Amino acid sequence: MTQGNWYIIKDIEKLDTPGLVIYPQRVRENINILKRMIDDVSRLRPHVKTHKSKEAALLMLDAGITKFKCATIAEAEMLGMANAPDVLLAYQPVGPKLERFIELNKIYPATKFSCLVDNSISAQSISDTALKNHLKINVYLDLNVGMNRTGITPGLEALQLYIDCNALPGIKLIGLHAYDGHIHDADLAVRTKRCNESFEPVKKLQQSIKEKGYPEPIIIAGGSPTFPIHLKRKVVECSPGTFIYWDRGYSLTCAEQPFLTAALVVSRVISLPDETKLCLDAGHKSISAENELNKRIYFLNAPELVFIGQSEEHLVVDAGKDHHYKVGDVFYGLPYHVCPTIALYERAITIEDYKISGEWRNIARDRKINI
């Protein structure tokens, strides 16, 4: 096999479709690329929302990565099961989620869990609940640097909240969290300018906190698009996530990053509706469908296909007249957005040396594992 058809599965007759496949050798290389890009592995805090599997987490732990970020209690528990030393739940736990978060701290004592806060009511609740359970929780102040979903704007109000939270006995403010996922320009120069502008208030807030006599806050910043920018800031922990599998979307918009695509969705032709059309078993229950139709999946071995329509279990494409395709033909599809695509599958089939080698369970796709 050549590099151009690295994805071919020789025993494809054993794989039912639609099927999610992972190439562990490429995953390992992506982890190595990540480590080579940064000056100090201790500044890496990868987000696990993309892979959702204990197996991928263990590969990163084996590579010396000890800090992680996640978005759900299930993802946090998966990391606890893997004995990850340091895990940030990049979410503000409210209601039953807070009770579950506290339970994580008790059941997985080898893992130091932390979470986010952006208001005094939540801070008081986290502190009170921690005290009832004889715990003290590390907390990061969640900053709104342009995403406009959660977080407090960096400035005087954020400084006061940092000070107020540090007075609460059940929590300890140790850092700032600044996710700039709204910045994903294909032009790296434009992306860099926007990233620097959104980060400037974060640096000022960090300095203000130090001037008040507090230890220098840790800063956790960025995701995949701004990783090449933040990695140059010696005081920042970086949180890329998609690097582990990569996808079509970031391959196009973040072309400066050398990660390998390592996850595909395999599909088959199941019907020939007319002389030009094919119907595949790649519905929107098997591919993330938040993008427009022609930006959901890209077939590596059939890039010329024109997308006509998609429903729950079917994808209709136009192959043109006199095409050579027939029922049963296999297409290797690269998702445009791999993260929510992974969440559609309870397991991924692993492919090594062009053959099926096993499976990885995407256990954190569930809302609950044990807790």
List the end-to-end C-alpha distance of the chain, in Å, as a whole number. 45
User: Model pTM greater than 0.85?
Assistant: yes
Q: What is the pLDDT of residue 3?
A: 64
* Tens-digit pLDDT profile for residues 317-346: 999 999 999 999 999 999 999 999 999 999
* Tens-digit pLDDT profile for residues 112-144: 999 999 999 999 999 999 999 999 999 999 999
User: What mean pLDDT, rounded, does the chain reach?
Assistant: 97
Number of C-beta neighbours around residue 262 at 10 A = 26
Q: What is the pLDDT of residue 2?
A: 54
**Contact status, residue 80 vs residue 111, Cβ threshold 8 Å:** yes
Here the tokens at position 327 are 């029922």
* SS3 category, 37: helix
**Contact status, residue 342 vs residue 365, Cβ threshold 8 Å:** yes
Determine the distance from the C-alpha atom of residue 158 to the mean position of all C-alpha atoms in its chain, rounded to a whole number. 27
Q: What is the pLDDT of residue 284?
A: 96
30 pLDDT above the threshold of 70: yes
Q: What is the pLDDT of residue 4?
A: 76
Residue type, 55: E
**Contact status, residue 45 vs residue 70, Cβ threshold 8 Å:** no
Region 28-49: what's the mean pLDDT? 98
Region 59-77: what's the mean pLDDT? 98
Give me the domains of the chain, ranges plus CATH numbers: 24-246 (3.20.20.10), 263-365 (2.40.37.20)
Contacts of 147 (CB under 8 A, 6+ apart): 179, 180, 181, 182
pLDDT band at 283 (very low <50, low <70, confident <90, very high): very high
Residue that has been written with the tokens 């992680």 in this structure: 68
* Tens-digit pLDDT profile for residues 70-111: 999 999 999 999 999 999 999 999 999 999 999 999 999 999
Among 2-6, 181-185, 293-297, which stretch is predicted with the lowest mean pLDDT?
2-6
